[in-house]
Amino acid sequence: MPIIRVEMLKGRDRDTRRAIIKELTDGFCRATGAKPEVVDVVLVDVDKQDWGKAGIAFADRQPD
């Protein structure tokens, strides 16, 4: 069973999350020939303060 794990900053609404899951599943199935029922997608929300790039937390780069 393939698992697609996506870590992303918090803030996407339910409809967007559904669309992400559908698109990732569909794309994986097209590329591999797998059936959708065997594909798991896990979306992991991360706070801006817990994710950084180039030594700077996103909370400092993109304040609310």
Domains of the chain, CATH where assigned: 3-61 (3.30.429.10)
Average pLDDT over residues 34-54: 96
In degrees to the nearest 10, what's the CA dihedral of 44, 47, 49, 50? -20
Q: According to the model, what pLDDT value does residue 62 have?
A: 78
Contact in structure between 2 and 34 (CB atoms under 8 Å): yes
Q: How many Cα atoms sit within 13 Å of 4 on the Cβ side?
A: 16
Q: pLDDT: is 12 or 64 the higher one?
A: 12
**How many Å is the Cα radius of gyration of the chain?**
15
Confidence (pTM):
0.87
Q: How far is CA 64 from CA 9, 11, 13, in A?
A: 13, 11, 17
Under the banding of pLDDT at 50, 70 and 90, the label for residue 49 is very high
